[in-house]
Amino acid sequence: MSQTSNSLKKRKKDLTFWQKIYIPEIAKGLALTFKNMVRPKFTMEYPEEKFIPPPSYRGRPVLVLEETGEERCVACGLCSRVCPALAIEVQAAETEREKERYPEKFEINMLRCIFCGLCEEVCPEEAIVMSKDYELAFTNREDAIYGKDKLLTPVSQLEDRIEFLRKYK
Amino acid sequence: MSITEIIIISLIKIVIVLGITLITVAYLVYFERKIAAWAQNRIGPNRVGWQGILQPFADVFKLLLKEDIVPERANRIVHAIAPMIALFVAFTTYAVIPIGPNVNIFGYDISLVVADVNMGVLYVLALTSLGVYAITFAGWSSGSKYSLLGGIRSSAQMISYEISMGFSIGGVLLLAESLRPIDIVNSQTNLWNAIVQPIGFITFVVSAFAETNRLPFDLPEAEPELVGGFHTEYSSMKFAGFFLAEYANMVIASAMIVTLYLGGWHLPFEQSLGLSGIWLTVAQIASFFVKMGAMLFFFIWVRWSIPRFRYDQLMNLGWKVMFPLSLINIIWVAAIIMIFN
Ligand code: SF4
Ligand code: SF4
């Protein structure tokens, strides 16, 4: 152990003469920064140019809306149970349709959500998934509680993520 | 020239020099941010005006609108005086730096320097050492440990590097046989001092970095350990005063390096260019500013390349390396004078 740490550490006496007088090393450092000054820039000019995240990105959780206009959620409440931040509130109700249960009220408090993705992982119906939406800003606390109106998202917009989940989950 | 004419001409020069200085300082801040961004593969400020060109004014407005906070335990009077000293020192130093040869305007023979004093170099040295007071006062009067540590470091650092700076200038003075900046520039018409005495040039540049508290010697304001160093407790325009003074000092340091070592306004091979009268003067003034700009770029470039020295390393470098080197330089210059005379 001490052997390796000793051999890794460069002591002053191990430096060559040219390293000791600093100047060539400083020149090398300056050359490196100069090279970087003329290289292409990484900056993305945000409001004009938006970052499109890869499917593995965990943006805000949304509910999946089928093409038929029905929601997938069966209001089992598992997501609400698992949520470490206690951000989800589900209230179940019954319908006449084939899937007998649906959430009468589904709210995610975006001030509490920590984007952990556990709700998505636990959902038996693949009904709640993480979207690519990262632009979350509110002017008051009420606005931060997202109801079904904001959460329901057509499945066509979420295909990337669902495919990713099927592959890796 | 009558006395009123002299006063009017001097006042005009002062206004021009102050104007140029303030604009240079404002844009220096802008270029510092731009170059920092480029060195880090970023774009830098580009929102205020075309390519962010109005950014410095936005910065100043922001600082003006901030609340001016004075800590409870501060010594109010000294706390207020410190940034004034810093600004005073920074702006009065420009008085003796010549930007070009004498010109003839409306029949007056005007030298392009506010005050053509025959001990200009000494004046600059004296004033820049006064700058230590600003920082020490600021550190002491804030009543905060970070500020005090910053102030103490700064005085120790400035005193150590002033010595090697003084000795490096010694070499220049030996060659020019004068303390007058214009004479020093004229002594380099054919050969710049940076070529004649490279060691002195290097020691002077390094000391200039230490004197202006620029990285790699910015220990008085080392952010990771001292919050903001001596100006931790300053806000609003008082902070802006220190900020301006720091950049103004950088401009002075560059102007001094150009005057003392890079031939001032002289162009290389200017006689062979075949320019006449007024055009030669214009080219010379332009060359002064180009050299100064290059030095300023170098200052910023170094800041974004080299990490900060540790305090003991700084003192070692100052006393055990720079000081002996500047002495060697004096001997070297003396030997050259002996051989060629
Ligand atoms: S992502 Fe995590 S914190 Fe957010 S709602 Fe789902 S489980 Fe709760
Ligand atoms: S989103 Fe999924 S886990 Fe949550 S209540 Fe609906 S079906 Fe159950």
* pLDDT tens sequence across B209-241: 888 877 777 776 666 677 667 777 888 788 888
In the prediction, which pLDDT does A114 show?
93
- Give the span between the Cα atoms of B323 and B320, in whole angstroms: 6
Cα A83 to averaged position of ligand 2 atoms, centre (Å):
11
Contact across the interface for A34 and B35, Cβ inside 8 Å: no
- Give the span between the Cα atoms of A45 and A51, in whole angstroms: 9
Asked if B184 and B121 count as a contact pair (C-beta separation under 8 A), the reply is yes
3-state per-residue secondary structure call for chain B? CCHHHHHHHHHHHHHHHHHHHHHHHHHHHHHHHHHHHHHCCCCCCCCCCHHHCCHHHHHHHHHHHCCCCCCCCCCHHHHHHHHHHHHHHHHHHHHHCCCCCCEEECCEEECCCCCCCCCHHHHHHHHHHHHHHHHHHHHHHCCCHHHHHHHHHHHHHHHHHHHHHHHHHHHHHHHHCCCCHHHHHHCCCCCCHHHHCHHHHHHHHHHHHHHCCCCCCCHHHCHHHHCCHHHCCCCHHHHHHHHHHHHHHHHHHHHHHHHHHCCCCCCCCCHHHCCCHHHHHHHHHHHHHHHHHHHHHHHHHHHCCCCCCCHHHHHHHHHHHHHHHHHHHHHHHHHHHHHHC
Q: Mean pLDDT, to the nearest integer, of A61-82?
A: 89
In the prediction, which pLDDT does B73 show?
82
pLDDT over 60 at A5, yes or no: no
Asked if B237 and B181 count as a contact pair (C-beta separation under 8 A), the reply is no
B88 near A CB under 8 A:
no
B301 near A CB under 8 A:
yes
Contact across the interface for A43 and B43, Cβ inside 8 Å: yes
pLDDT over 50 at A1, yes or no: no
**Which is nearest to A110 in space by CA: A144, A139, A61, A79?**
A144
Q: Say which range, B21-25, B213-217, B269-273, has the weakest mean pLDDT.
A: B269-273
Nearest by CB to residue A41, choosing from B35, B41, B301, is: B41
pLDDT over 80 at A27, yes or no: yes
- Give the span between the Cα atoms of A152 and B54, in whole angstroms: 45
**The tokens of B196 are what?**
């004649």
Residue-averaged pLDDT of chain B: 83
* Band (A2; pLDDT cuts 50, 70, 90): very low
CA distance B209 to chain A (A): 14
Measured from the alpha carbon of residue A83, the closest ligand is 1
Q: Mean pLDDT, to the nearest integer, of B23-32?
A: 87
- Give the span between the Cα atoms of B207 and B196, in whole angstroms: 19
Contact across the interface for B41 and A26, Cβ inside 8 Å: no
The gap from C-alpha A66 to its chain's centroid, in whole angstroms, comes to 23
**The tokens of A75 are what?**
């209001």
Q: Say which range, A22-31, A117-126, B122-131, B209-218, has the weakest mean pLDDT.
A: B209-218
Residue A112 DSSP one-character state: T
What is the residue type of A25?
E
- Give the span between the Cα atoms of A57 and A60, in whole angstroms: 10
Q: Say which range, A7-11, A119-123, B326-330, has the weakest mean pLDDT.
A: A7-11
In the prediction, which pLDDT does A90 show?
92
Q: Count Cβ–Cβ pairs < 8 Å, chain A vs chain B.
A: 36
pLDDT over 90 at B82, yes or no: no
Contact across the interface for B301 and A33, Cβ inside 8 Å: yes
Asked if B192 and B184 count as a contact pair (C-beta separation under 8 A), the reply is no
**Which helix (DSSP H) or strand (DSSP E) does residue A153 occupy?**
strand A152-154
- Give the span between the Cα atoms of B193 and B189, in whole angstroms: 10
A41 near B CB under 8 A:
yes
- Give the span between the Cα atoms of B265 and B254, in whole angstroms: 13
In the prediction, which pLDDT does A86 show?
93
Q: Say which range, B65-74, B103-112, B307-316, has the weakest mean pLDDT.
A: B103-112
Q: Which atom of ligand 1 is nearest to the CA of A58?
A: 1
- Token pair 């029949």: residue: B107
User: For residue A71, what are the β-bridge partners?
Assistant: A65
According to DSSP, the β-strands at A128-130 and A145-146 are unpaired
Nearest CA in chain B to A29: B305
What's the start-to-end Cα distance of chain B, in Å? 39
pLDDT digits (tens, 9 = 90+) for A130-165: 998 888 888 998 889 999 888 898 988 888 898 998
**Which is nearest to B93 in space by CA: B137, B138, B130?**
B130
On chain A, the residues whose CB falls within 8 A of the CB of B306 are 26, 29
A39 near B CB under 8 A:
yes
**The tokens of A136 are what?**
């979350």
**Which helix (DSSP H) or strand (DSSP E) does residue A36 occupy?**
helix A23-37
- Whether the link from the prior residue into B216 is cis, omega within 30° of 0, is yes
A44 near B CB under 8 A:
no
Query: The complex's ipTM?
Result: 0.71
On chain A, the residues whose CB falls within 8 A of the CB of B203 are none
- Give the span between the Cα atoms of B27 and B32, in whole angstroms: 8
Residue-averaged pLDDT of chain A: 85
* Torsion angle defined by CA atoms of residues A121, A124, A127 and A129, in that order, rounded to the nearest 10 degrees: 10
pLDDT over 60 at A7, yes or no: no
- Give the span between the Cα atoms of B43 and A46, in whole angstroms: 12
- Per domain, the residue ranges of chain B are 71-340
> Which phi and psi (to 5°) does residue A101 adopt?
-110, 150
A40 near B CB under 8 A:
yes
On chain A, the residues whose CB falls within 8 A of the CB of B42 are 41-43
Residue nearest to atom 4 of ligand 2 (CA): A79
On chain A, the residues whose CB falls within 8 A of the CB of B43 are 41, 43, 45
Cα A98 to averaged position of ligand 1 atoms, centre (Å):
28
Q: Which atom of ligand 2 is nearest to the CA of A74?
A: 7
pLDDT digits (tens, 9 = 90+) for A99-118: 888 898 999 999 999 999 99
- Give the span between the Cα atoms of B324 and B322, in whole angstroms: 6
- Give the span between the Cα atoms of B48 and B23, in whole angstroms: 17
Angle (CA) A37-A39-A41 rounded to 5° is 95
pLDDT over 80 at B105, yes or no: no
Percent of chain B with pLDDT over 90: 0
- Give the span between the Cα atoms of B288 and A93, in whole angstroms: 82
- Give the span between the Cα atoms of B221 and B241, in whole angstroms: 15
B312 near A CB under 8 A:
no
In the prediction, which pLDDT does A6 show?
53
Asked if B229 and B220 count as a contact pair (C-beta separation under 8 A), the reply is yes
Q: Write the burial class of residue B246 (CB in 10 Å: 0-12 exposed, 13-18 middle, 19+ buried).
A: buried
